[in-house]
């Protein structure tokens, strides 16, 4: 019996020290793992914010590029007919839209639907105005009519509304707000 007590006298403190060491090491490892996870989450969030802001920048650029005031001078060439200019404008608008299709995964559905809506409105406006003219008329006539419509329309242009929505989303992202 004395031997058992003697053995317990050495084993019991060793077991207590072992349990204490295990608990301390376990808490340290869990805390360290949590710190690493938080750091990785923060890094991912920073990357995501950068990607979302870049997507908004590209969509803002797209909206600016399809604005008739900047689009027509880039596409118009002397000697074109109304049909030629209409096709060139629509081709350019759609081409740039397709170039930016991947941006939809980084922005809210509201922003993406607005961008799509602006594209459709611009194409429809060009089509409606072109139908009012003879297809073989000089492209300058279509150019002048589009400029007249843009300048005389009392409502806010769709491109301006879209840019406001894009800016609002960028501000939400920069302030740490959730994606709508």
d(CA 18, CA 80) in angstroms, rounded, equals: 88
Predicted local confidence at residue 180, as pLDDT: 43
**pLDDT tens figures, 104-158:** 999 999 999 999 999 999 999 999 999 999 999 999 999 999 989 888 887 888 9
Mean pLDDT of the chain: 90
Give residue 48's pLDDT. 85
Residues 6+ apart with CB under 8 A from 15: none
Q: Has residue 179 got a pLDDT over 50?
A: no
Distance CA 63, CA 163 (A): 7
Domain with 68, as residue range(s), is 2-174
Q: How far apart, in whole angstroms, are the C-alpha atoms of residue 67 and residue 89? A: 11
pTM: 0.75
Instruction: List the one residue out of 120, 110, 109, 18 whose CA is nearest residue 63.
Output: 120
The reply to whether 163 falls in a domain is yes
Cα–Cα distance, 45 to 67 (Å, whole number): 33
Q: What are phi and psi of 100, to 5 degrees?
A: -105, 10
**What is the structure's pLDDT at 37?**
82
Residue 180 belongs to some domain of the structure: no
Phi then psi for residue 104, to 5 deg, are -65, -25
In a domain, 179, yes or no: no
Confirm whether 41 is domain-assigned. yes
CB atoms within 10 A of CB 76: 16
Does the residue 22 lie in any domain? yes
Asked if residue 145 lies in contact with residue 133, where contact means CB atoms within 8 angstroms, the answer is yes
Q: Which tens digits make up the pLDDT trace of 8-40?
A: 788 888 888 889 888 888 888 888 888 888 888
Q: Is residue 108 situated within a structural domain?
A: yes
Strands (E), the chain: none
Residue 177 pLDDT level (bands cut at 50, 70, 90): low
Domain count, the chain: 1
Whether the CB-CB separation of 71 and 93 falls below 8 Å is answered with yes
Inform me whether the pLDDT recorded for 65 exceeds 50: yes
pLDDT of residue 38: 82
């Amino acid at each position: 019996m004395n031997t058992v007590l003697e053995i317990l006298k050495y084993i019991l403190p060793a077991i207590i020290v072992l349990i204490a060491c295990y608990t301390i090491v376990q808490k340290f490892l869990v805390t360290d793992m949590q710190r690493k996870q938080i750091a990785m989450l923060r890094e991912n969030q920073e990357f995501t914010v950068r990607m979302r802001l870049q997507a908004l920048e590209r969509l803002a650029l797209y909206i600016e590029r399809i604005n008739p005031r900047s689009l027509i001078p880039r596409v118009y060439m002397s000697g074109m007919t109304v049909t030629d200019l209409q096709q060139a404008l629509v081709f350019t608008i759609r081409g740039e839209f397709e170039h930016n299709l991947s941006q939809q995964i980084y922005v809210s559905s509201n922003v993406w639907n607005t961008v799509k809506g602006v594209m459709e409105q611009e194409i429809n406006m060009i089509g409606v105005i072109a139908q009012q003219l003879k297809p073989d008329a000089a492209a300058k006539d279509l150019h002048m009519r589009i400029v007249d419509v843009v300048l005389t329309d009392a409502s806010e242009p769709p491109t301006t509304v879209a840019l406001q929505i894009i800016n609002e989303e960028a501000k939400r992202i920069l302030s740490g707000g959730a994606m709508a």
